[in-house]
Structure 1
């Protein structure tokens, strides 16, 4: 096993050991202790801590070992009784979820492969486990790699096919499972209101090249539905490494949402109910709007709820990301 170390790695592991050795007391004292012990002397918080099998540091033998996966906002540590691999979050250039490399597919059911750079050399680490654990860990890793990044955004770059004269603005970036938010950033002198891209509304994205701040940069062009219109937003980060990770994130969430509705068959009447929920607010008599009696509406809501397209089987309710994806696809078909 290749061992890689970085100042602070021992600090993070020691915080974990102290947490495990702390005797249990009252619930309130234990919670206070957890908050204290999950911080290192440098102020790092342990946000991930689980046991997994992994192939760390580009181990040429591809023999998985069992150990602990620890992560703070600054570093990822894979530790066994014999060695540890420390990966600075700033060195991560790729996060590939669910793609099991052929060299280890006999050992893992579900994995995340992390690409990173050490001493100007590209390395990979493969972490495997149950799907739920790996997906949750991957989302936290994406956030650690991208949240707070300085971002140049042009929004809207297009509305439909019409090119807009919107100015490029510097802002921040924040990932949630269902959205990417670009908040106003006072430190960067940004006074504009924040805006959010609903990832269930994304219908197409591609990487193009643009001149940004006087230099050629890669730009992520994202087409999404906003207020019933197809809108294009152009996003650029100074770091190509971060651009690659952001592209990976959008592809991953798009794939997850689309996969969840791939086998769902929505009737024309069910689609009308989804569109009605999408386009109206609380307090609207949906049955009257759709010219349905209450029993008919109730039956359709139950069907949509069973397909995970709405959050409840009775009104008022909201569309899930999968429900919004179905509606946005319909809107895009109408706009074409």
Structure 2
């Protein structure tokens, strides 16, 4: 791995995970990320890890193996001399977050993929859609508000705003007579909900990248795995609240909900909306205005009625 332009770096400590080690041996290290890989620099010694050799990023490591109360770390598993090696890196949380994000970016950006879009619209399978080749791009924006996945294809680009993604999971459909693992990305816009399928050698990294974003946004908990089930943070959702969520999801507007929930009055429903807002399960679109006629307004109506 030759010398390359530096992307980011951090001063921290590293620990090579050994199954039968009696104690954890954390060592000071400067971790440097370049466009080709990662350099682990300890004084005059340095070890290079090519990006292409990384097999996983973000593996959970037991407290026993860490040997100390390390809460912020990233684990990188790579292949060296035909065997897997895992190294844990710790340092300042902000630097760790930046390091992981840039590693993910370099592993995902401008990588070839196969895409099926839209695989589903509103939960219904879309007929006539075929798998096509594409090129995955990771588009970042200032502040991250408009970050998106862009898949270039001949029929036109597919753009998925990160903030519109509801969930991502692994599925194993039959494609061309063979069972293959794919990434199923569920996302929405103002009109509908869509499922986009991605097939690629980097799909596990893509799933991890999306899940990291969903954790940052509080959509899934920090301990959620690649599954469809997850609690709404630490919130306990009552049955009535769940019914309202389902109604909103199915396209019923917030103003129409009271007509479907006859056992509740408007004030009670708005109280539930406040609770759902505090849980982060809904967002405020606009404040409804509750008005009544003034004497001046009634006077105008009275004059009209006399005509």
Partner of 1:122: helix, strand, or coil?
strand
Q: Is the 8 A contact 2:165 2:185 kept in 1?
A: no
Per residue, is there more helix in 1 or in 2? 1
Report if the CA contact (8 A) 1:73-1:144 is conserved.
yes
Residue segments in structure 2 that go unaligned for 5+ positions in a row: 222-230, 259-263, 288-307
1:196 aligns with 2:160: yes
Distance 1:144 1:57, change over 3 A: farther
Please list, as runs of the form range in 1=range in 2, the aligned pairs for 1:176-195 lying within 5 A after superposition: 181-184=149-152, 190-195=154-159
Q: Normalised by the size of structure 1, how large is the TM-score?
A: 0.59
Q: Distance in 2 between matches of 1:211 and 1:250?
A: 27
Q: 1:263 aligns to what? A: 234
Q: 1:89-114: CA deviations, max 9, x gaps? A: 22211112554464224352232211
Secondary structure at the aligned position of 2:152 is classed as coil
Q: How does 1:1-336 map to 2 (within 5 A)?
A: 6-8=1-3, 44-46=5-7, 48-56=8-16, 62-100=24-62, 102-106=64-68, 108-129=70-91, 133-159=95-121, 160=123, 162=125, 164-175=127-138, 181-184=149-152, 190-196=154-160, 200-202=165-167, 204-208=169-173, 210-211=175-176, 218-222=180-184, 224=186, 226=188, 231-237=194-200, 239=201, 242-250=202-210, 252=212, 257-259=219-221, 261-266=232-237, 268=240, 272=244, 303-309=275-281, 315-316=285-286
TM, length-normalised to structure 2: 0.63
Provide the rounded CA distance (Å) in 2 between the counterparts of 1:125 and 1:208.
Answer: 34
**Deviation for aligned residue 1:125:** 1.4
| Corresponding residue SS for 1:143 | helix
Deviates more, 1:86-95 or 1:155-164: 155-164
Contact 1:64 1:107 in 2 (8 A): no
Structure 1: runs of 5+ lacking an equivalent: 1-5, 9-41, 318-336
Would the aligned equivalents of 2:183 and 2:203 in 1 still touch at CA under 8 Å? Answer: no
Residue aligned with 1:115, SS: strand
CA distance in 2, matches of 1:107, 1:275: 44
Query: Per-residue CA shift, 1:144-183, capped at 9, x if unaligned?
Result: 2111111110112345354622122222223478976233
Contact 2:13 2:26 in 1 (8 A): yes
Report Cα offsets for 1:263-310 as digits up to 9, x if no partner. 123564698589769969xxx9x6x55669999898666544543445
